[in-house]
Amino acid sequence: MTATSSNVVNGLGIVSTLVDAALAFARGNPKSGAILLGAAALSSRVPGLGVLASVALRVARRLR
Protein backbone atom coordinates (compact mmCIF):
# COMPACT_ATOMS: atom_id res chain seq x y z
CA MET A 1 0.00 0.00 0.00
CA THR A 2 1.38 3.41 -0.88
CA ALA A 3 1.65 6.32 1.53
CA THR A 4 -1.21 8.15 -0.18
CA SER A 5 -3.65 5.26 -0.01
CA SER A 6 -2.79 4.54 3.63
CA ASN A 7 -3.44 8.22 4.44
CA VAL A 8 -6.83 7.98 2.75
CA VAL A 9 -7.72 4.80 4.65
CA ASN A 10 -6.62 6.37 7.94
CA GLY A 11 -8.67 9.48 7.18
CA LEU A 12 -11.74 7.36 6.46
CA GLY A 13 -11.25 5.54 9.75
CA ILE A 14 -11.14 8.85 11.62
CA VAL A 15 -14.25 10.13 9.86
CA SER A 16 -16.19 6.92 10.54
CA THR A 17 -15.21 7.09 14.21
CA LEU A 18 -16.41 10.68 14.40
CA VAL A 19 -19.72 9.67 12.83
CA ASP A 20 -20.07 6.86 15.37
CA ALA A 21 -19.32 9.36 18.17
CA ALA A 22 -21.99 11.74 16.89
CA LEU A 23 -24.51 8.90 16.72
CA ALA A 24 -23.62 7.81 20.25
CA PHE A 25 -24.23 11.33 21.56
CA ALA A 26 -27.50 11.53 19.62
CA ARG A 27 -28.68 8.22 21.12
CA GLY A 28 -27.93 9.45 24.63
CA ASN A 29 -24.67 7.56 25.23
CA PRO A 30 -22.24 10.29 26.32
CA LYS A 31 -19.62 7.84 27.65
CA SER A 32 -19.44 5.97 24.36
CA GLY A 33 -19.37 9.25 22.46
CA ALA A 34 -16.50 10.55 24.56
CA ILE A 35 -14.53 7.32 24.12
CA LEU A 36 -15.03 7.48 20.38
CA LEU A 37 -14.04 11.15 20.21
CA GLY A 38 -10.85 10.39 22.11
CA ALA A 39 -10.11 7.44 19.86
CA ALA A 40 -10.67 9.58 16.77
CA ALA A 41 -8.26 12.19 18.12
CA LEU A 42 -5.62 9.56 18.80
CA SER A 43 -6.14 7.84 15.45
CA SER A 44 -3.89 10.33 13.72
CA ARG A 45 -1.00 8.97 15.82
CA VAL A 46 -2.14 5.35 16.15
CA PRO A 47 -3.74 4.24 12.88
CA GLY A 48 -6.75 2.00 13.33
CA LEU A 49 -7.39 2.93 16.96
CA GLY A 50 -10.70 4.60 16.16
CA VAL A 51 -11.99 1.63 14.22
CA LEU A 52 -10.84 -0.71 16.98
CA ALA A 53 -12.65 1.37 19.63
CA SER A 54 -15.79 1.48 17.51
CA VAL A 55 -15.82 -2.28 17.01
CA ALA A 56 -15.09 -2.89 20.71
CA LEU A 57 -18.01 -0.67 21.76
CA ARG A 58 -20.33 -2.43 19.33
CA VAL A 59 -19.31 -5.84 20.70
CA ALA A 60 -19.74 -4.63 24.29
CA ARG A 61 -23.21 -3.30 23.43
CA ARG A 62 -24.19 -6.66 21.94
CA LEU A 63 -23.00 -8.56 25.00
CA ARG A 64 -25.04 -6.48 27.45
pLDDT tens for residues 31-52?
A: 999 999 999 999 888 888 988 9
- CA torsion, points 22, 28, 30, 35, in degrees to nearest 10? -50
CA atoms within 13 A on the CB side of 10: 15
**Residues in CB range of 56: below 8 A, 6 or more apart:** none
Expressed as residue numbers, the domain containing 23 is 3-63
pTM across the whole model? 0.85
Please state the domain count of the chain: 1
Query: Measured between alpha carbons, how far is 34 from 1 in angstroms, rounded to an integer?
Result: 31
Query: Measured between alpha carbons, how far is 12 from 34 in angstroms, rounded to an integer?
Result: 19
Average pLDDT, the chain: 90
